[in-house]
Amino acid sequence: LVQLYIPLNFMGMLYREIKQALIDIDDMFRIIEQNPEIQDKPGAKPLEIKQAVVRFEDVHFSYIPERPILKGVSFEVPAGHTVAIVGPSGAGKSTISRLLFRFYEPTSGRILIDGQNIADIQQTSLRKVIGMVPQDTVLFNDTIGYNIQYGRWDASPEEVREAARLAQIDRFISNLPEGYDTPVGERGLKLSGGEKQRVAIARTILKGPPILVLDEATSALDTFTEKEIQDALDRVSRGRTTLVIAHRLSTVIGADEIIVLDHGRVVERGNHTSLLALGGVYASMWNRQREADQARETLKRAEEEE
């Protein structure tokens, strides 16, 4: 039995490794498809993380030459702080996160992490220190446990559970008949947008990167889920340098700095209170969103009374 057990166990390990290799290749193809030109410079060094300060210096960018998307964007996220980027759809917010991940390179200007230009460092070392919680999480066709474990392969089952607990998804998983072994994805259990996002948050907590990029979902989640997700995000961003593309008012209020982007330019910046006092783009965005929220609340209450 022992003899049989060992090879099976070994094959299991091998299988997992091959599967990870396949996923990494998938990721690679996605990146290559996006832009085959981004390559490490000869002799590129790995990034050295000290405090994890992120800095954009007069960044210009266009996907196609005749259409500039970012027109001189500068900002800094100090170590452990949170900067929120807000602005209308198409303003260039997600482009900023793609440039930080170096899916593309600025046409001019620089992006620095702890003083090192990300154009000069090894891409793998860059992606290792950045955790990304995207707007729409795509789950692998595997168990829910695997989907969290993906954040760090050497994490113990206890660490996986702890990450899930912090991301407020542990109770949900534990109540499933097969628990962490429940298959998810196209061929398994379908998760709601909020549940998928919490799986992504758990994965990121497990990875524990010094820099976080959060692209919040635009869709109106119900208030309860929204609060749960906000709590989970607050936990994961504590003590980490965080850039958040913000849609939720609660994130915006708490951010150390809010950057208002419009047509690829920073049109206003400051904290929530100072931007409201300014009475400009941010203030009108805020008021519009508040009215929408109130209208939704009224509607819900009317429905409940019926």
Residues forming contacts to ligand ADP in the complex (CB under 6 A) are: 63-64, 69, 87, 89-95
From 110, 96, 105, select the one nearest 123 (Cα to Cα): 105
| DSSP states of 236-276 | HHTTSEEEEE--SHHHHHH-SEEEEEETTEEEEEE-HHHHH
Residue 134 in the binding site for Mg ion (CB under 5 A): no
- Distance, in Å, from the CA atom of 251 to the CA atom of 126, rounded to the nearest integer, reads 26
Using CB atoms within 10 Å of the CB of residue 186, give its burial: 0 to 12 exposed, 13 to 18 middle, 19+ buried. exposed
Contacting range for Mg ion; rule: CB under 5 A; set: 17-25, 29-37, 70-78, 88-96: 88-96
Nearer to ligand ADP, 92 or 254 (CB): 92
Residue with smaller CB distance to Mg ion, 85 or 169: 85
What length is written for the chain? 306
Residue 277 CB, nearest distance to ligand ADP (Å)? Answer: 25
Nearer to ligand ADP, 69 or 258 (CB): 69
The smaller minimum CB distance to ligand ADP, of residues 90 and 280, is found at: 90
Distance (Å, rounded) from C-alpha 61 to C-alpha 65? 9
Q: Which is nearer to ligand ADP, 42 or 65 (CB)?
A: 65
**CB 99 → Mg ion: shortest distance, Å?**
13
Closest-CA residue to 97 (of 120, 69, 78): 69
Residue placing its CB nearer to Mg ion in the complex, 125 or 135: 135
Instruction: Using CB atoms within 10 Å of the CB of residue 98, give its burial: 0 to 12 exposed, 13 to 18 middle, 19+ buried.
Output: middle
> Tokens 């981004």 sit at which residue?
38
CA 55 distance to own-chain centroid: 18
Closest contact distance (angstroms) between CB of 89 and ligand ADP is 4
**Which span sits near Mg ion by CB under 5 A: 30-38, 70-78, 89-97, 249-257?**
89-97
Closest CA to 255 of 286, 225, 279, 284: 286
Which one of Mg ion, ligand ADP, none interacts with residue 95, CB within 5 to 8 A by kind? ligand ADP
CA dist 75 and 259 (Å) reads: 8
Indicate whether 94 belongs to the interface with Mg ion (CB under 5 A).
Answer: yes
The distance of closest approach from Cβ of residue 62 to ligand ADP in the complex, given in angstroms and rounded to an integer, is: 8
β-strand 82-86 against 241-245: which pairing, if any?
parallel
Per-position x/- string for 34-63, each x denoting binding to Mg ion as judged by CB under 5 A, each - no binding: ------------------------------
Which of Mg ion, ligand ADP, none does residue 90 bind (CB under 5 to 8 Å by kind)?
ligand ADP
Measure the CA–CA gap between 124 and 136, rounded to whole angstroms.
Answer: 23
Does 125 bind Mg ion (CB under 5 A)? Our answer is no
Minimal CB distance to Mg ion: which residue? 94
Residue (52 or 244) nearer to Mg ion, CB: 244
Question: Which option in ligand ADP, Mg ion, none does residue 8 bind, with CB closer than 5 to 8 A by kind?
Answer: none
Q: Fill in the DSSP letter of residue 75.
A: E
- Find the binding residues for Mg ion in span 158-197 (CB under 5 A): none
The residues binding Mg ion (CB under 5 A) are 94
